[in-house]
Chains A and B, each alone.
Chain A
Amino acid sequence: VIPTTFDYHRASSVEDAIKKLQSTGGKLLAGGHSLVPLMKLRLSEPAALIDIARIPGLSGIKERDGQIEIGAATVHHDVASSSVLRQKCPMVSDAAGEIGDPQVRNRGTLGGSLAHSDPSADYPAVMLALEAGVHITGPGGSRVVKASDFFQDLFTVDLASDEIITGVQFAPVKSAAYAKLHQRASHYAIVGVAVALDVKNGGIQSARVGLTGASSHAIRLANVEQALAGQPLSAKTIESAAQLAGKDLKEINADIHASESYRRAMIPVFTRRALEGAAARA
């Protein structure tokens, strides 16, 4: 990694990090797995890096008042191996365990993934399916943004340059699953679908479906969610709802790993698999 010259600061607290962001105009560094590859290619040339990886309290997984909170600096490996998540909301651990490779999972962080919002990243789809709240702190205080409002466009999220994601919080859903077609080099998702079902007495009360890999940023599949809501949880429901997945998307990503038409065809396949996975946990 031969980047351009930058200053390095280690932040002692979130407040300290915000001050340093404002004074330097720099970028936050946590696991470095989105930013450093860009710096290596000199596509990103920040004047300063503010290291937030060691801010006390910024990492960890807690259960509080029936909600799960994951600190922004929590690395993927810790999410993948969390006993709380495995028990209460295994989809999140599954998705974390499919990110990159062990080295990536031991360095990369949840907050970094969300802030970067790579169109093929796994976490955004999962956070959408859980309708997680993204906790953000800035100079003016803290705010919570719903995942569905947070992801806005290609590498674009509702986050100002002097704000920091401190974590996410969501109501755990047991009957939820993530299914992903791996890009074999990067192990990003060619297509990734996260599904969370609210099932009562064999019927789907409501469903949330997040899709990554197919478009400029992760999105909810409203038509699939509507087709599921109020229906009995059955193979037939799953099959017919999955068939709708991606049908209303006008633009689909394409690259050497998957053409537009192949990606489009894979959306129902992985929607069905995620639905089957979620149904098996209901």
Chain B
Amino acid sequence: MSTPVLPKLVGQRVKRREDPRLIQGLGTYVDDIKIAGMQHLAFKRSDVAHGRIVSIDVSVAQGMEGVEAVYTGAQVAEFLAPMPIGTPFPSPAHYAIATDVVRFTGEPVAVVVAADRYLARDAADAIVVRYETLPAVIDTELAMTGKPAQIHKDFPNNLAVPLVPSGTGVPPDGSSVDDTAVNAAFAAAEVVISQRMLNHRLAPTAMEARGVIAHYEPGRTAMTIWSSTQNPHILRTMIAAMNGMGQDQVRAIAPEVGGGFGAKINIYAEEYVAAAISKKLGLPIKWIEDRSEAFVATIHGRDILCYIDLAAKRDGTVLGMKMRLIADIGAYNMLLTAAIPTLTMLMANATYDIPAIRATLTEVFTNKTPTDAYRGAGRPEATYFVERAMDMLARELNMDPAEVRRKNFIPKDKFPFQTQMGAIYDSGDYEKALDRALKNAKWPELKAQRDAAKAQGRLVGLGLAMYVEVCGIGPSASLPTGGWEHSQVTIERDGRISATTGASPHGQGNETTFAQMLADQFGVPFEHVTILHGDTSVVKQGIGTFGSRSQAVGGTALHMAGIKVKAKMAKFAAAMMEANEEDLVFENGKIFVKGAPAKGKTFADVSNYAYIPVPLPPGLEPGLSEEAFFEPSNNTYPFGCHISMLEIDRDTGEPRLLKLVAVDDAGNLINPLIVEGQIHGGLAQGIGQALIEEVVYNSDGQLVTGSFMDYAIPRATDFPRFELDSTVTPTPVNPLGAKGVGEAGTLGSTPSIVSAAVDALSEFGVKHIDMMLRPEKLWRIIQGGKA
């Protein structure tokens, strides 16, 4: 008779344990939480893009039944300081509610506190604001000339960050610029590709918009804040600091979070205002964002313009690159706004061994919603610019787009690789990913299919893009919050396992993957492991989930805490069995001396003994609970290759994606099913950017795409079945060898699709098309016009 053997779960396609509750409506989101006496906020928002506030009449609103209080921006500024940012760049004061000038449509100008949401909104609608309208600054490059207006007093020509150089011949502090190598590369060039490209503005549009409840309890002098956030610990830090409280006095809770995509890293005006008003009034305060607000009040993503020049030999060898980046960051700096485009510079080297690169970055204020991290955050932009330029080079030289890339790859034996941009790529084998993608796509046959379709008069094109991104962020030098993660693993008295993680999953499936890891580590059933997250009173320390870091950094902290508690548990078990702890094996719910499972103790028995240790083994404290902080020595650099096939309707210009082949290398995979889900989501957003998603402002600064009636988000029916595969190149920077995968799908897909569109329309002599690929834009090319 043998006991059933527990399967090893790491590397298996375990179904997400989060899903049953989420798809049955059993999750608890911020808006599901109600507290007796809770008051609701509604913000009066600016309907002009740029204007001086002449007067605000709150008299009617203040007199309405159920209205507790109304505050203008100036009144809020009396008890709430301007909002802090997390980057070292100079920044204009950014009040949570505008005090004198409004700088984007949707900026708050007043706030109502009322007994319910409907009354609050009615009262906000009753506030009358008069503006002296100022010219709206919408065009990015025009803004750089200070026209038609200067948005912030101390920032002439609307330059938030004046030109920052980086790359070859520039020391890390940017203090000097030596262009010798770059100039030599361009002097030696046999061919130069030059193109202006826009990586346009997007709205993150999480399924659950933002929401917050702040509950200050005067009796306890304690604040609890629930928020739909990616990082409750950062929220706690900021809320404590802004309210003159200690971090011990603030508890931040991220309940179920319905998507973030980077937009919920920020600590927003509404969170600061809710907390400050709760403290001022001693009442629980709730604010739930509606979808119309989400389009203007939640950060936007991307919006980086690039002038790129690529110098090459006629055999395809790239000699040098120049990349002039101009980021349109909107009206204010948010938490990480200024840092996002620096990641575009950092990744300008892409997957290639380019001998000389000069990148420069300028960040520009405009009268638009501020930008910040959106899935990929700076890296899709770099990938897009470089991959489009590589594709243009291949077209110019009449080379296969795969071969021009192969010719320039950083060879696999050169890792760790110091790039021109100051990054140290941890590990990579780009040729392997390329070859796998070419094999899976049946590249020669695919090209023959395209040619056959073209011969029939169809407009079919192929696109290929490589990517490398920076993930697993990272060492503390790379984040203002510190770059570690924390975990505590506790073996409960009954032998079940509770583990906390400072990563704060909101769709990443860490409750599943982390339980897989601990189940394997301790040889216990998966069902016996619970992963706790998202509450600063439960999870002692943490940073949060962003930058594809939860597995690589958070997962490693969990693993390290597990090692510690396992070592202690082995000591208890050794004492019980009078054995050497080094000889013990944890398997199938038992701990036993290797080779003698029948004589072992159950996991539960050893756990119980650790909590009622009679006798207490010498040198041991009771209990089984250990914690670990893990800080990686470097970021990770996952990579891959995406290939797409696109057909464009000759009559209408409508693009249709026929095929998408992706090979992603995220290092070791804990759960390939979850990885595929992450890739699917990333691809959807990457393809969405290329084909249907675009934030559009009119020249007055009104957001034209302010609802789902005009802002398209991708649906399953927009896609073919994705053909996924992975290569595995582990990272040396963490013991799991895992690199991170949450953002990868947004990197390669976008340029591959635009390149496919250019290929499809090659008969019309087009060399580049700016996204998004609106049917009308493509139709005009087909009609003989210009892109």
Chain A proximity of B474: nearest CB distance (Å): 37
Given the contacts A41-B292, A258-B776, A185 and B715 also touching, CB distance less than 8 Å: no
Q: Is A42's CB within 8 Å of the partner chain B?
A: yes
The interface-forming segment of B245-253, B530-538, B625-633, B703-711 is: B703-711
Given the contacts A184-B692, A265-B779, A269-B652, A2 and B715 also touching, CB distance less than 8 Å: no
Contact present for A2 and B708 (CB under 8 Å): no
- Residues of the A chain whose Cβ atoms lie less than 8 Å from the Cβ of B651: 269
- Residues of the A chain whose Cβ atoms lie less than 8 Å from the Cβ of B779: 262, 265
Top 10 A-B pairs ranked by shortest CB distance? A185-B712, A184-B712, A262-B776, A186-B709, A184-B692, A269-B651, A2-B121, A185-B710, A256-B696, A256-B704
| Mask: chain B, 640-669; 1 = CB below 8 Å from A; 0 = not | 000000000001101000000000000000
Contact present for A37 and B652 (CB under 8 Å): no
- Residues of the A chain whose Cβ atoms lie less than 8 Å from the Cβ of B125: 42
Chain B proximity of A272: nearest CB distance (Å): 8
Q: Is A23's CB within 8 Å of the partner chain B?
A: no
Q: Give the size of the chain A interface in residues (CB under 8 angstroms).
A: 23
- Residues of the B chain whose Cβ atoms lie less than 8 Å from the Cβ of A41: 292
B713 nearest CB neighbor, chain A only: A185
- Residues of the A chain whose Cβ atoms lie less than 8 Å from the Cβ of B775: 181, 258
Q: Is B520's CB within 8 Å of the partner chain A?
A: no
| Mask: chain A, 243-273; 1 = CB below 8 Å from B; 0 = not | 0000000000000111100100110010000
Considering the chains assembled together, what is the distance between the CA atoms of A2 and B120 in angstroms? Answer: 10
Contact present for A181 and B709 (CB under 8 Å): no
Considering the chains assembled together, what is the distance between the CA atoms of A20 and B696 in angstroms? Answer: 42
- Residues of the B chain whose Cβ atoms lie less than 8 Å from the Cβ of A262: 776, 779-780
Q: Is A5's CB within 8 Å of the partner chain B?
A: yes
Considering the chains assembled together, what is the distance between the CA atoms of A259 and B783 in angstroms? Answer: 15
Contact present for B710 and A256 (CB under 8 Å): yes
Contact present for B118 and A186 (CB under 8 Å): no
B714 nearest CB neighbor, chain A only: A184
Considering the chains assembled together, what is the distance between the CA atoms of A41 and B122 in angstroms? Answer: 12
- Residues of the B chain whose Cβ atoms lie less than 8 Å from the Cβ of A149: none
Q: Is A142's CB within 8 Å of the partner chain B?
A: no
- Residues of the B chain whose Cβ atoms lie less than 8 Å from the Cβ of A101: 715
Q: Is B117's CB within 8 Å of the partner chain A?
A: yes
Within 8 A of B (CB), among A35-81: 37, 40-42
Considering the chains assembled together, what is the distance between the CA atoms of A223 and B370 in angstroms? Answer: 51
Given the contacts A41-B292, A184-B692, A5 and B709 also touching, CB distance less than 8 Å: no
| Mask: chain B, 694-728; 1 = CB below 8 Å from A; 0 = not | 00100000001101111111010000000000000
Chain A proximity of B247: nearest CB distance (Å): 35
Considering the chains assembled together, what is the distance between the CA atoms of A266 and B776 in angstroms? Answer: 10
Contact present for A5 and B712 (CB under 8 Å): no
Q: Which of A5, A40, A185 contacts B711 (CB 8 A)?
A: A185
- Residues of the A chain whose Cβ atoms lie less than 8 Å from the Cβ of B707: 37
Q: Is B403's CB within 8 Å of the partner chain A?
A: no
Cβ contacts A to B, 11 pairs, < 8 Å: A4-B122, A40-B290, A181-B775, A184-B691, A185-B708, A185-B709, A188-B709, A258-B775, A258-B776, A262-B776, A262-B780
Contact present for A2 and B117 (CB under 8 Å): yes
Considering the chains assembled together, what is the distance between the CA atoms of A266 and B125 in angstroms? Answer: 41
B291 nearest CB neighbor, chain A only: A40
Considering the chains assembled together, what is the distance between the CA atoms of A258 and B775 in angstroms? Answer: 8
Within 8 A of A (CB), among B283-321: 290, 292
Considering the chains assembled together, what is the distance between the CA atoms of A41 and B291 in angstroms? Answer: 10
Q: Which of A5, A186, A259 contacts B708 (CB 8 A)?
A: A186
Given the contacts A2-B290, A256-B705, A266 and B652 also touching, CB distance less than 8 Å: yes
A190 nearest CB neighbor, chain B only: B775
Chain B proximity of A231: nearest CB distance (Å): 23
Considering the chains assembled together, what is the distance between the CA atoms of A125 and B118 in angstroms? Answer: 38
- Residues of the B chain whose Cβ atoms lie less than 8 Å from the Cβ of A184: 691-692, 712
Q: Which of B118, B705, B710, B776 contacts A2 (CB 8 A)?
A: B118
Considering the chains assembled together, what is the distance between the CA atoms of A266 and B782 in angstroms? Answer: 14
Within 8 A of B (CB), among A1-44: 1-5, 37, 40-42
- Residues of the A chain whose Cβ atoms lie less than 8 Å from the Cβ of B122: 4-5
- Between A41, A185, A256, A266, the greatest number of chain B beta carbons within 10 A of the residue's beta carbon is seen for A185
- Residues of the A chain whose Cβ atoms lie less than 8 Å from the Cβ of B117: 2
Chain B proximity of A219: nearest CB distance (Å): 21
Chain A proximity of B284: nearest CB distance (Å): 20
Considering the chains assembled together, what is the distance between the CA atoms of A262 and B121 in angstroms? Answer: 40
- Residues of the B chain whose Cβ atoms lie less than 8 Å from the Cβ of A258: 775-776
A182 nearest CB neighbor, chain B only: B654
- Residues of the B chain whose Cβ atoms lie less than 8 Å from the Cβ of A188: 709
- Residues of the B chain whose Cβ atoms lie less than 8 Å from the Cβ of A3: 118
Considering the chains assembled together, what is the distance between the CA atoms of A265 and B653 in angstroms? Answer: 11
- Since A40-B292, A257-B776, A262-B779 are in contact, a sample of 19 more A-B pairs with Cβ atoms closer than 8 Å, ordered by chain A residue number, is A1-B290, A2-B117, A2-B118, A2-B290, A37-B709, A41-B292, A181-B652, A181-B654, A184-B692, A185-B708, A185-B710, A185-B712, A186-B709, A256-B704, A256-B705, A262-B780, A265-B779, A266-B652, A269-B652
A4 nearest CB neighbor, chain B only: B122
- Residues of the A chain whose Cβ atoms lie less than 8 Å from the Cβ of B692: 184-185
Chain A proximity of B635: nearest CB distance (Å): 36
Considering the chains assembled together, what is the distance between the CA atoms of A40 and B706 in angstroms? Answer: 13
Given the contacts A2-B290, A181-B652, A256-B696, A186 and B710 also touching, CB distance less than 8 Å: yes
